[in-house]
Amino acid sequence: MHVEDLKIPGRTTLAGKLYLPAEQGNFPGVLLCHGFASCKEEFMALPHNLCREGFAVLSFDYSGHGESTGHRGYVSENGHLDDTLRAYQALIDRPEVDVNRTALVGHSLGTAAVLRFLATSAAKLVRCGVLLAPMHQIRQSLKPFEKNTYTALATLARPLKKMTGKHMYIPYRVKPKDIYESKEAIQRAVTHKLLLNQISVHNYTYLMERQDNVLYAEKVHTPLLVMAAEKDRLIPVAQAETVYQALPAKDKAWELVRDSGHSLLGDRQAKAVTARISEWLQAHTQNTAKV
């Protein structure tokens, strides 16, 4: 296996890691899209395992996250899609990647990026995708007090940003204990700082007004595997089911993962989740013409 650090240019510089099988060849490519206030490391062993099974895998940090540049903890509607388009282009530009055999895997808010990408013409050759813990609308997961506070802060912050160009930050309410069931996983997330402690209040427009996975799911005919965590304390299983039901594709699959929190790939059932993702990708990226 060969692992290469990438810097993807554009309005921000995206940091990525490209995993390539050791042998020479033209491999199916997989793009991994992480969740909000997280980073590419949240996928844990998935890129390594997929690479060992013959996939070229690109895992990257969205703008303002991980090692990428940009306002920390800030995601805009257009920026989220632009980052995904840039990362996908970086993947298929590689001579080791078969452009006719690609797939995307998204987790949490990363599923919004995947669905929006799949609804564009850039995704015409994508074979399949995986949605891990997808939400319908992220704002549905907030309590009334949280929504009201967020609204008030965003209203106050807008004129300040116009005058100074600076972002206002608030503590991120989600902690590792909220997304993992395993105590070891919680400690690992704390040690490696997998979650941001603060986020920009200017996420409000995208997260609280615009983000809607069902709106885009209804436009996507790409084969999709949807996996939800039984013990997810952030995104209720019912939201993931709503997204799944909205998909018009005939080739789709639903999996409810028992004894797992929101993270899925970093929690107690990580090996089983990784194996199921690999099975789905293998089945849909065989070296045959796309139908």
Question: What DSSP character marks residue 210?
Answer: I
C-alpha triplet 275, 280, 286: angle, nearest 5° = 120
- pLDDT of 287 reads 77
Question: What tokens were used for 9?
Answer: 């240019």
Q: Is the pLDDT of residue 137 over 70?
A: yes
How far is it, in rounded angstroms, from Cα 5 to Cα 275? 25
Q: Is the pLDDT of residue 291 over 80?
A: no
Alpha carbon distances (Å) from 220 to 135, 242, 252: 16, 14, 11
Higher confidence at residue 3 or residue 290?
Answer: 3
Percent of the chain predicted with pLDDT > 70: 99
Quick: pLDDT tens for 29-78: 999 999 999 999 999 999 999 999 999 999 999 999 999 999 999 999 99
State the number of CA atoms in the 13 A half-sphere of 94 facing the CB. 29
Region for 141 from its dihedrals, namely left if φ exceeds 0, alpha if ψ lies in -120 to 50, beta otherwise: alpha
Q: How many CB atoms lie within 10 A of CB 128?
A: 25
Amino acid 42 reads: E
Q: Is residue 34 part of a domain?
A: yes
Task: Please name the residue that has the structure tokens 């060992």.
Answer: 52
How far is it, in rounded angstroms, from Cα 26 to Cα 102? 11
Q: Is residue 289 part of a domain?
A: no
C-alpha triplet 20, 33, 10: angle, nearest 5° = 85
Q: What's the CATH number where 170 sits?
A: 3.40.50.1820
Question: What tokens were used for 247?
Answer: 């998909």
Using DSSP, state whether 225 is helix, strand or coil. strand
Quick: pLDDT tens for 160-169: 999 999 999 9
| Angle between helices 109-118 and 77-92 in degrees, nearest 10 | 70
Question: By residue range, what is the domain housing residue 13?
Answer: 2-284
Q: Is residue 210 part of a domain?
A: yes
Quick: pLDDT tens for 97-108: 999 999 999 999
Task: Please name the residue that has the structure tokens 């506070």.
Answer: 149
Rg (CA), the chain: 18
Our count of domains for the chain comes to 1
pTM for the structure as a whole: 0.97
Q: Is residue 291 part of a domain?
A: no
Q: Is residue 88 part of a domain?
A: yes
C-alpha triplet 35, 70, 195: angle, nearest 5° = 35
- pLDDT of 288 reads 60
Question: What tokens were used for 41?
Answer: 């490391």
Q: Is residue 290 part of a domain?
A: no
Q: Are 188 and 266 in contact (CB under 8 A)?
A: yes
Q: Is residue 87 part of a domain?
A: yes
Q: Are 181 and 232 in contact (CB under 8 A)?
A: no
Question: What tokens were used for 274?
Answer: 């990784």
Reported for 152-156, long-range contacts at CB under 8 A and 24+ positions apart, including other chains, are 153/201, 153/204, 154/201, 154/202, 154/204, 154/205, 154/208
How far is it, in rounded angstroms, from Cα 32 to Cα 106? 6
Quick: pLDDT tens for 197-242: 999 999 999 999 999 999 999 999 999 999 999 999 999 999 999 9
- What is the maximal distance between C-alpha atoms in the chain? 56
Q: Is residue 131 part of a domain?
A: yes
